[in-house]
């Protein structure tokens, strides 16, 4: 449940780990204020008037995938959400080093950002290697809950695409069930290779490289009906 009295379950772990390096801390002060998505309804036109479309990355970690996608598609506005401070600092560094002008950040819970997005405003959504919360008693902390799936369906435009990836078998099964249970999503896989082999446009993420899960990475691509 999520309302004013019951905030959403905390799906993330620590907010901060090691100290932020001085150069990154300085960039957080100088660059983050301009990169941060301001409060209130999100207006993509105001953020990037020339953008062809808008994508969302949920839990971008250190921001490597987000920055690489942004570099590959400079005409797309990419919104990223991540509450882990060290991750945000790393993403700001990537954005600065690569001179990216098409990325905006929400340094907090993605559910707060989604609530401020207009209907059908996104063309793509990435949920890549979300925190696995593998133990049965922890699974309620998993980000992919029916409520989030419904909110993502609201914000994704018809024909828009969503990618979920994980290397934790029980999460893959659960996420697949939850997306399929929502009639707004159609799973695009036709054969096993469609989920076993990384899609052609996939960029390996930092967490994916660690191979911490209990299965090979699985990629579930859905289209918004």
Least distance between ligand SAM and beta carbon 65 (Å): 6
Task: Pick the closer one to ligand SAM by CB: 1 or 50.
Answer: 1
In the three-class reduction of DSSP (H, G, I as helix; E, B as strand; rest coil), residue 181 is classed as: helix
Catalytic option among 107, 109, 131, 221: 131
Place of tokens 């996104």: 122
Least distance between ligand SAM and beta carbon 49 (Å): 27
Q: Is 173 one of the catalytic residues?
A: no
CA distance 71 to 61: 17
The answer to whether 111 touches 74, Cβ cutoff 8 Å, is: no
Least distance between ligand SAM and beta carbon 78 (Å): 13
Interface contacts to ligand SAM, rule CB under 6 A: 11-12, 58-61, 81-84, 87, 109-111, 128-131, 143, 205-208
The answer to whether 62 touches 203, Cβ cutoff 8 Å, is: no
In the three-class reduction of DSSP (H, G, I as helix; E, B as strand; rest coil), residue 223 is classed as: strand
Task: Pick the closer one to ligand SAM by CB: 51 or 143.
Answer: 143
CA distance 10 to 4: 15
Task: Pick the closer one to ligand SAM by CB: 58 or 92.
Answer: 58
Catalytic residue positions, numbered: 131
């Amino acid at each position: 449940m999520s309302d004013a009295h019951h905030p959403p379950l905390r799906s993330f772990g620590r907010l901060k780990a090691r100290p932020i390096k001085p150069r990154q801390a300085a960039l957080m002060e100088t660059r983050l204020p301009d990169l941060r998505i301001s409060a209130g309804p999100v207006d993509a036109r105001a953020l990037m008037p020339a953008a062809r479309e808008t994508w969302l990355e949920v839990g971008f970690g250190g921001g490597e995938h987000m920055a690489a996608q942004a570099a590959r598609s400079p005409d797309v506005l990419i919104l990223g959400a991540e509450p882990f401070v060290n991750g945000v600092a790393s993403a700001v560094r990537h954005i600065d080093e690569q001179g990216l002008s098409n990325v905006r950040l929400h340094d907090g819970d993605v559910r707060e950002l989604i609530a401020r997005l207009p209907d059908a405003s996104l063309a793509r959504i990435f949920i890549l290697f979300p925190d696995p919360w593998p133990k049965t008693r922890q699974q309620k902390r998993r980000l992919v809950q029916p409520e989030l799936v419904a909110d993502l369906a609201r914000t994704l435009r018809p024909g828009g695409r969503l990618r979920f990836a994980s290397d934790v078998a029980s999460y893959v099964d659960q996420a697949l069930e939850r997306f399929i249970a929502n009639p707004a999503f159609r799973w695009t896989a036709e054969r096993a290779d469609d989920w076993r082999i990384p899609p052609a446009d996939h960029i390996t993420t930092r967490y994916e490289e660690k191979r911490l899960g209990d299965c090979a990475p699985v990629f579930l691509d859905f289209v918004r009906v």
